[in-house]
Amino acid sequence: MKSTIISALGFAAATMAHGIVSNLTIGDELYDMYNPYSTPYLNPIPDLIGWTVSSNGPVEDVSSAAIACNADSKAGAISATAAAGSSVKFSWTVWPESHRGPVMTYMANCNGDCSEVDATTLDFFKIDEAGLLADGTWASDSIINDGSTYTASIPSDIAPGNYLLRHELLALHSAGTVNGAQFYPVCANLVITGTGTAVPTDTVKFPGGYSSDDAGILLNIYYPVPTSYVIPGPPVYQGGGASASSTAAAIASTSVASYASEASTSVAAYPTEASTSVAAYPTEASTTLAA
C-alpha cells in the first residue's frame, strides 16, 4: 500500500524509547509499516505490507518466536512489488545514540502467500549487514547520521516469487550479560520480479539463527573497547551462490596472524637448520611458500 497519513502523536510515542521502522521506500514508492501506537486506531485500519508488532520494545530471548518478526507479530495483509536488484530504504523513528550495534537484513522465500505464512518455519538468507566500522563507530551511528535511515539492496539474481523481508537493529549497550542484547526485528511482504534463478542455500531459521552466547551477542562494548566485531548470523549472500562471512574473515585473520607468529618463532629458533633446509630444497621451499 502506498503511504497513508499516520497520526503524528502515534509516531511521537514510538520514539520515546527505542525505535521502530515507520516506512519503507522501494523505488519511488513509500510504504507505511505497522505502528502499534497509531495503526490500531485508524478507521478503517489499512492493509499494510508490514507485520504487526505489539510495541517498540526489544526482543531479548533469541530462542523465542518473537525473534523472527518481533513480539506478537502477525503477517501483513498485502505485499509490495520490488524488482530484483532494487534498493529498499528503511526509515526508523529516532534511534537512541546509546543503543549502539549492528544492522542485519534478511530475506526468505514464502513458497506461497506471505500473508499466510508462519515466519518461524522459513529459511532466511542474509542480504546485508554492517557492524563495527573502521573509524570505531557502529552501524547504528551511521543510521542516526543518515536521518535514521538505512538502505539495503535486494540480490539481483534471486528467483522471482513471494519473499519475507526481515530487517533488524541489535543494541549492545547491555550485552555484557546473557539475554542482555536487544534485538529490534521487523518484517514486510515482498513480491520479487525479475529473471533470476538463484536460490540461496546458506540459510537459518528464526529462532535458531542466533545463540545467546554468540560472540557478537554476548560481549561488553565498553571495556575493553572492541577493535573488531563478528556480526551474528550467516554469511551475506553475494550472488551466484557465493557468500562473504564476517565470521570466516575473522577466523582467517586470526589463523594467518598465529601462523605468521609461529613461523617467525621457528625460524628465529633454528636459523641454521632453516637456512640449510631452504638451500637444500629451493624448489620445494618456493613451492610451499607460494602455496
* Domains of the chain by residue range: 8-243, 251-290
pLDDT tens-digit map of 106-119: 999 999 999 999 99
pLDDT tens-digit map of 121-176: 999 999 999 999 999 999 999 999 999 999 999 999 999 999 999 999 999 999 99
pLDDT tens-digit map of 204-245: 999 999 999 999 999 999 999 999 999 999 999 998 755 554
Sign of the C-alpha dihedral, residues 220, 221, 225, 230?
positive
Q: CA-CA distance, 85 to 155, in Å (whole number)?
A: 5
Q: 281 falls in which pLDDT band (50, 70, 90)?
A: very low
Residue 31 contacts residue 24 (beta carbons within 8 Å) = yes
Q: Is 86 exposed, middle or buried (0-12, 13-18, 19+ CB in 10 A)?
A: middle
pLDDT tens-digit map of 197-206: 999 999 999 9
Write down the mean pLDDT value for the chain: 84
CATH code, residues 8-243: 2.70.50.70
Q: CA-CA distance, 254 to 232, in Å (whole number)?
A: 18
